[in-house]
Amino acid sequence: MSKERSIAPNLPNKLTMLRIIMIPLFVLLYEWQSLGLHYLWAFIVFALASITDLFDGKIARKYNLISDFGKLMDPLADKVLVTAAMVCFVGDAAALTPSWVVIVILAREFLVTSLRLLAAAKGVVLAADKWGKYKTATTMVWICWNLLILEFGLLGAVGVYLHYGLMFLSLFFTVYSGLNYVVKNKSMFGK
- pLDDT tens-place string over residues 83-118: 999 999 988 877 788 999 999 999 998 898 888 888
Confidence grade of residue 142 (pLDDT, cut at 50, 70, 90):
very high
- pLDDT given at position 96: 82
Q: Which domain holds residue 107?
A: 3-189
- pLDDT given at position 10: 84
Is a pLDDT exceeding 60 seen at residue 8?
Answer: no
Give residues with Cβ within 8 angstroms of 86, minimum separation 6: 97, 102, 105, 106, 143
How many domains is the chain built from? 1
Q: What is the CATH number of the domain that holds 63?
A: 1.20.120
- pLDDT tens-place string over residues 40-62: 999 999 999 999 988 887 888 88
Q: Distance of CA 172 to CAs 96, 110, 124, 139, 177, Å? A: 18, 17, 28, 10, 8
Confidence grade of residue 33 (pLDDT, cut at 50, 70, 90):
confident
The SS3 call for residue 9 is coil
Greater model confidence, 21 or 159? 21
C-alpha closest to that of 79 among 108, 109, 117, 52: 109
